[in-house]
Amino acid sequence: MRRLVISAVFLVLLMNLWVGVAQQPRKDEPKYDVKRCNPKVVSKKPISEPKIIQVRQGEKPSRYPPVIAFEILESGEVVNARVKRSSGIADRDAYLLNSIRGWKFNSRSGCGTVETEFVGVHSP
C-alpha cells in the first residue's frame, strides 16, 4: 500500500514538472510585434470618377452596406478581394471592390498574411 502511495505521488510530481516545462515559451521563437505587424494603408490608387449608381431591374437594395473581404500580403499588396456581403446594387459593390483592390499597405516582412474585411459604410 505504501509503495502505491509513493508511486502515485512520484507520478503526480513528474506530471507537474512535465506540464511546467511544456508551458514555458521557447527562446528561439521570435515574439510577434503588434506595432510593426499592424497593416496601415500607405497609398490608394486613384480610380476614375464613379459613374452614376443605378438600380437595375431585378436588383433589390439590401439596406446593408457592402462588405469586402481581402488578404494583405507581407509586401502590402491586396489580394483575393471579393464581395462577402452585397449591398444589393451591383454598381455600388463593384465601385467599392475596385477601390480596395487599388490600396497598398505598409511592408511587414515576417508578419505573415492578414485576412480582413472592410465595411463600405460611405460608398457612393
Q: What is the pLDDT of residues 79-90, one digit of tens each?
A: 999 999 999 988
The answer to whether 68 and 118 have CB atoms below 8 angstroms apart is yes
Residue 5 C-alpha cell reads as: 502511495
Rounded-to-integer distance, Cα 103 and Cα 85, Å: 20
Indicate whether 25 pLDDT > 90: no
Indicate whether 68 pLDDT > 80: yes
The answer to whether 115 and 82 have CB atoms below 8 angstroms apart is no
Phi and psi angles of residue 86, each rounded to the nearest 5 degrees, phi first: -80, 150
Considering the entire predicted model, what is its pTM?
A: 0.67
Amino acid letter, 16:
N
Regarding beta strands 67-72 and 41-44, do their DSSP bridges make them parallel or antiparallel, or are they unpaired? unpaired
CATH match of 38-119 with 3.40.50? no
- Categorize the per-residue pLDDT at 37 as very low, low, confident or very high, splitting at 50, 70 and 90: confident
State mean pLDDT over 11-22: 57
- Quote the mean pLDDT of the chain: 79
DSSP state of 111: S
pLDDT at 27: 61
pLDDT at 124: 47
User: In whole angstroms, how large is the CA radius of gyration of the chain?
Assistant: 26
**Of the ranges 11-20, 63-72, 86-95, which one carries the lowest mean pLDDT score?**
11-20
State mean pLDDT over 103-118: 88
Indicate whether 123 pLDDT > 50: no
Domain borders along the chain are: 38-119
